[in-house]
Structure 1
Amino acid sequence: MRGNRNRRGSRRVRAALSAAVVVCAVTTVLPSAASAESRTAASDGGSGVERVSVATDGAQGDGASAGATITPDGRRIALASLATNFTTASPVTWQRVYVRDRRTSQTTLMSTNTPPIERPVISGDGQYVALWGQLFRDTKTFLAQVAAASSIGISCPGLSCRQPSLSSDARYIAQSTTFNRPPSRQLIEVRDWRAGTTQTVAEFDHTLPSRPSISGDGRFVAYEDGRAEDVFVWDRTDDTSAGPIEGPDKAATLVQISKDGRKVVFLSGSDTYVHDERSGTNQLVPNVKGLAIDPTGRYLLYAPHDTSGPSLVLRDLETGTDETVSSRPATAGTDSVSSDGRDVVFHSAADDLVPGDTNNTSDVFVRRFY
């Protein structure tokens, strides 16, 4: 693999290292007794939950809506939907990508001909949406400008580009590029589409998941080696990668880097860890699945493994307090929490989160904490 000058070596070598060389201290954050509602938020079914998978006139979707991402200010949400009544465009049988502006109540169609794969990603300034979709037999990354509602294809030297992650102004796009025809290999790249340049972050001789995640200024990219189960952080200023950040002899899966570039969330076993890039320490959040972190790195969205309680919970990593995002079955992904944990976007098939939900399918909602 290219660029990992600080890599500690293979897992077998790391397993032989003594505790004296472990540089990542781990602190544990257990559920707080003050967990329920430390900030004011309405309960499920109240005014604190807003359905955003709706047409400009407020009509609910006639098809399922799912994965969504939100801007740091909470104003705009990019989402994928099978609904045919959000715009006047000709109906299609695949998902389309929309942007919902909560300030103007405008729902804008972003894609028409390319079915998105996984969730669309909205830039921090709310001006661009990235998605990866099928183009003939390959997948490509597309970048759509919200104001123009038009898209451009992003150059892809391989057969398939996927899993895009955007800097705050969308200038830098981190993505995985795979070459499935022999010999199979994978590149993690950062594309500066305005300058027309590309930097290679890492190169693997396999096509297992890499999940790149870029900081808001485009300087740092967190990514994983799906075969070795290691997580690294690349720095554009010196073109080097540091890690594995999880420490020796531990398997890890990347979730997301915070937009300020300071915190990296990863999973290991049944636990979630939040790595602090400045101190090199890992904060343990046990027995939960981390889903996203807010742009400031303070608030972690997670799903408890214990299914007898809420499905989505927001944790203040500084105070250890928890707040329920949804007590009904719900799902969320990366880039789903606005700054300071004020808004959380998620999707759910529950029909009692807001009044008048009668479409009998999944919708996208925002929980706002006041």
Structure 2
Amino acid sequence: MSRHTDRSTRRVRRALRAAVVMGAVITALPGVASAEPADGAGNSSVGVGVERVSVAADGTQLDRDSTGGAITTDGRRIVFSSSATNATPGNAAGSERVYLRDEPSGQLKSVGSYPVDSPVISGDGEYAAYWVLLFRDTKVKLAQWTAGSSIGLNCDALNCSQPSLSGDGRYVANVATIGRPSTSQRIDVWDWQANTKQELAWFAHTAPSRPSISGDGRFVAYQDGKTKDVFLWDGDHGSTSEPIEGPSKEATIVQISEDGSKVVYLSGSDTYVHDVSSGTARRIPDVKGLAIDPTGAHLLYAPNDTTGPSLVLRDLTSDTDQVVSDRPASAEVDAVSTGGHDVVFESTADDIVPGDTNGKSDVFLRRFS
């Protein structure tokens, strides 16, 4: 969408003006803006409701935009990015940074700088991945909660981007573009701990081709952006499927579920949830799928009809819907925790939680149970 393109362009321009800076700040978060009742200390109660998670270390609202948002399988940790000057001490320059937040403790860490696009998170919350622009090239960075800092992955191409993480963060799927100017690309999976790589596919073009990896690293769903086909690679068998959408339609990947059971893709005005074991797909008409929960049972989508809610969570087992946001909002992949209990999203609306007066984009967490 154009909004994401504009945002990425702004970040690229910022990255061109400065080198990548990495650091760690560990702070406690005493209070979070929430629509839930608060206790005497000003802390939000835990339960059904919505809260703003992109807040400063002292609990105040941020002075610049916060974007993205990805959540762990258990809903414990969230990653997002922000250019706020007051998020944590030492960020007076207001550079775009990657933040990891631990919900139970309220701890916030700055783990990296200058992301080109929204960061993603491992299922266990120990790692976040993002990509940066270094002069003319792009590189993938891996940020660790424990260390509170980022490392660069050993990418053997000029440009590596669009990372997707396994459940424990050990395996990273990404796109590597070849040549300058780039004329081709491939889909890779890195075992960064063993420093080994598998090349899954080569494309003689640079049309958008994004991967999504399952929690155990066995499956990688990816698209060929030129033919508009979605494929599924099975690492156990070293095999790649035929286009999972079949020969009669074009498709764009959304993501594979953490357990590897479902692949979500878009085709025309509809969303499809492909069952890996049966090879069949379920059509969800007239909606844009955005994310699926780790078990493949809950689909987060945006209705094509813009007169209603902006974000809806569907239980694919019971065919029931719950409204995530009835204000203008957007969400990234990895936005839903297991069982659909938590959904993280981004919005510029100022009436989702009380006291939202910064006039900026914020990241919110909706809890359903």
TM-score range, shorter-chain basis?
0.7 to 0.9
* Conserved 8 A contact 1:262-1:277: yes
- Once residues 45 and 109 of structure 1 are traced to their aligned partners in structure 2, the CA distance between those partners, rounded to angstroms, is 26
Give 1:56 shift.
2.7
Structure 2, unmatched stretches of 5+, are: 1-33, 38-48
Equivalenced residue count is: 325
Q: Which residue of 2 aligns with 1:51?
A: 52
Give the Å deviation of 1:319.
1.1
Take 1:89 and 1:135, find their aligned partners in 2: how far apart are those partners? 22
1:105 corresponds to 2:106 = yes
Q: Tell me whether 53-62 or 332-341 shows the greater mean CA deviation.
A: 53-62
Distance in structure 1 (CA, Å) of the matches to 2:186 and 2:295: 28
Task: Quote the Cα distance in structure 1 between the aligned partners of 2:272 and 2:252.
Answer: 10
Residue equivalent to 1:75: 76
Distance 1:46 1:355 in 2: 10
Q: CA deviation at 1:45?
A: 4.8
1:367 maps to amino acid:
R
**2:92 corresponding residue in structure 1:** 91
What does residue 300 of structure 2 align with? 301
Q: In 2, are the aligned partners of 1:270 and 1:288 still within 8 Å (CA)?
A: yes
Deviations 1:144-199 (A, max 9, x none): 11111111111111111000000011110000000142671101000000011000
Residues 293 and 340 of structure 2 are in contact (CA less than 8 Å); yes or no, is this contact kept in structure 1? yes
User: Match of 2:339, SS?
Assistant: helix
**Secondary structure at the counterpart of residue 116 of structure 1:** coil
Stretch deviating more after TM superposition (130-139 or 293-302): 130-139
Aligned to 1:11: none
AA paired with 1:234?
A: W
Cα separation, 2, equivalents of 1:121 and 1:315:
22
Q: Contact 1:180–1:207 (CA<8 Å) still a contact in 2?
A: no
Query: Residue 118 of structure 2: SS of its match in structure 1?
Result: strand
Q: Which residue of 2 aligns with 1:254?
A: 253
CA distance in 2, matches of 1:252, 1:342: 29
| Pairwise CA RMSD | 1.3
Partner of 1:4: none
Q: 8 Å contact 2:83–2:97 — kept in the other structure?
A: yes
**What secondary structure sits across from 1:213 in the alignment?**
strand
**1:111 alignment partner, SS class:** strand
Write the distance in 1 (CA, Å) between the matches of 2:312 and 2:256.
19
User: Aligned partners of 1:183 and 1:208: how far apart in 2?
Assistant: 11
CA distance in 1, matches of 2:190, 2:332: 23
CA–CA distance in structure 2, aligned partners of residues 80 and 130 of structure 1: 12
Q: Which residue of 2 aligns with 1:205?
A: 204
Aligned to 1:222: 221
Distance 1:186 1:124, change over 3 A: same
Q: Offset at 1:93?
A: 4.3
1:176-325 correspondence to structure 2 within 5 Å: 176-181=175-180, 184-325=183-324
Secondary structure, aligned partner of 2:112: coil
| Distance in 2 of aligned mates of 1:117 and 1:267 | 24
Task: Work out whether residues 351 and 360 of structure 1, in 8 Å CA contact, stay in contact via their aligned partners in 2.
Answer: yes
Q: Secondary structure at the match of 1:158?
A: coil
Contact 2:184 2:202 in 1 (8 A): yes
Q: What is the alpha-carbon distance in structure 1 between the residues aligned to residue 141 and residue 93 of structure 2? A: 19
Q: Work out the CA distance in 1 between the residues paired with 2:252 and 2:65.
A: 29
Identify unmatched segments of 5+ residues in structure 1: 1-43
**Whole-Å separation in 1 of the counterparts to 2:273 and 2:93:** 41
Query: Is contact 2:67-2:80 (8 Å) kept?
Result: yes
The secondary structure found in structure 2 opposite 1:207 is: coil
In the alignment, the residues of structure 2 paired with residue 110 and residue 60 of structure 1 have an alpha-carbon distance, to the nearest angstrom, of: 20
Q: Distance in 2 between matches of 1:175 and 1:256?
A: 13
Question: What amino acid is the match of 1:98?
Answer: Y
Aligned amino acid, residue 59 of structure 2 = G
Q: Distance in 2 between matches of 1:137 and 1:94?
A: 19
- Between 103-112 and 210-219, report the one with greater CA deviation: 103-112
- Structure 1 residue 127: deviation in Å? 0.6
1:106-137 CA deviation, whole Å, 9 max, x = no partner?
1110114xx10111111111111111011111
State how far apart, in whole Å, the 1-side matches of 2:221 and 2:279 are.
Answer: 14
Query: For each residue in 1:237-281, what CA deviation from the matched residue of structure 2 results, as whole angstroms up to 9, or x when unmatched?
Result: 122110200012110000000000010000000000000000111
Corresponding letter in the other structure for 2:229: D
Shift of the 223–330 alpha-carbon distance from structure 1 to 2, 3 Å rule, reads same
1:55 Cα shift?
1.9
Corresponding residue SS for 1:110: strand
User: CA offsets, 1:59-91, max 9 Å, x none?
Assistant: 111111011100011111000101111111242
Deviation digits for residues 197-247 of structure 1 (CA, Å, limit 9, x no counterpart) = 000011110111111000000000000000110000001112211020001
Identity of aligned residues (%): 60
Contact 1:332 1:346 in 2 (8 A): yes
Residue in structure 2 matched with residue 120 of structure 1 by the alignment: 119
- Find the aligned partners of 1:243 and 1:121 in 2 and give their Cα distance: 27
What's the CA shift for 1:99?
Answer: 0.8
